[in-house]
Amino acid sequence: MTVPDGLVETVAFVLICSVPVVLAGSLLIRLARSWSLAASMVVLVLIPLAATFTGVLGASGFMISGTPAKTAMVVVIVSVVTVPAAVMLGRYQARRTVWEREIRDAERAAEDSRRKLVAFVSHDLRTPLAGIRTVAEAMADGLVDPDDVPRHAKHIEQESIRVSEMVEDLFDMSKINAGAIAPAADTLELDQVVDDVAAAYALVARRARVDLRTVVPEDPVRVAGSHRDLTRVLSNLVANAIAHTPEGGSVTMSMGCDERGAWVRVDDTGSGIDGDSLARVFDVAYRGSNDRVPRSDPSLPSGSGLGLAIAAGLVQAHRGTISAGNTDSGARFEVRLPSPC
């Protein structure tokens, strides 16, 4: 097969003119790593268009007439159409990349949280279960004095309650991690939740020799949500505050409403939260350096260690925020919820 006259020369001119454009564009893309994805997409679209035009121009002997002129017009028209499309495609691709990265990060965080949760609960369940088993075996073998049976039976009851609370916390934490918390959209008065929690923990605070106080406004503050879930949130915060407040101290629940919505604060007169713990205090299974105050009454609730993580998850499900900080007298936890104040 014979090669048409001038074909090799034409191909050579096309390659000589178009290849440098492609190489220059590749170098530009490589050097411009800080560009946005949309800008990179525009350059990627313009590179083949510019290479096509220079190739046609080289094949025509750099004569801007006839075919090259028409090609230039086509290149301009195609650029007007494709460049905006490339910008939109680049922005969409950038958003999708961010979404995919966030999804992967969320999945990794959820898996890490599940592993920590299982390890944490399995470790903490061993202690009460071992105590129950030891006492039960001693009673079954007749090694316990009959006069001591009521005391040991009470110990088994207390440890059983502790295990039950851990299982309930684990169940709630699993639902939170799975995103299965869908709070009711009922309108409720937040001061009623505060009063219910104060009534529920009045005896606990009295036995711990801690003064439990409430400060509520005269006008009711209404929010949308689940009474049970919000009660659980404040109960966990109050229980945590009592556990870290020494005898003779106080825990105060106060609430109100401002331009940012409804708020509830739980203040204690404990040792506060150290700086390293502030950023991680709501993490699953995180134990800060500030230990609980030792109590002589073993029947006082000790908690599973998941209370603050559960509170944070329930508040987030209510489209609210929860924060921790220190005051001049101790620690403060604040919950904010949407409300038409």
What span, in angstroms and rounded, lies between the C-alpha atoms of 100 and 106?
A: 10
Q: Which of 56-70, 173-187, 247-261 has the lowest mean pLDDT?
A: 56-70
What span, in angstroms and rounded, lies between the C-alpha atoms of 109 and 107?
A: 5
Phi, psi of 22 (to 5 degrees): -65, -45
pTM (2 d.p.) = 0.59
Write out 178-190 in H/E/C secondary structure: CCCCCCCCCEEEH
For residues 102-109, average pLDDT: 77
Asked whether 333 and 320 are in contact (CB, 8 A), the reply is: no
- Going along the chain from its start, the domains and CATH numbers come out as 7-102 (no CATH), 185-341 (3.30.565.10)
CB atoms within 10 A of CB 218: 5
Q: How confident is residue 242, by pLDDT bands cut at 50, 70 and 90?
A: very high
Supply the DSSP string of 304-324, one letter for each residue.
Answer: -S-HHHHHHHHHHHTT-EEEE
How much is the pLDDT for 198? 94
What would the two tokens of residue 338 be?
């949407």
What span, in angstroms and rounded, lies between the C-alpha atoms of 48 and 29?
A: 13
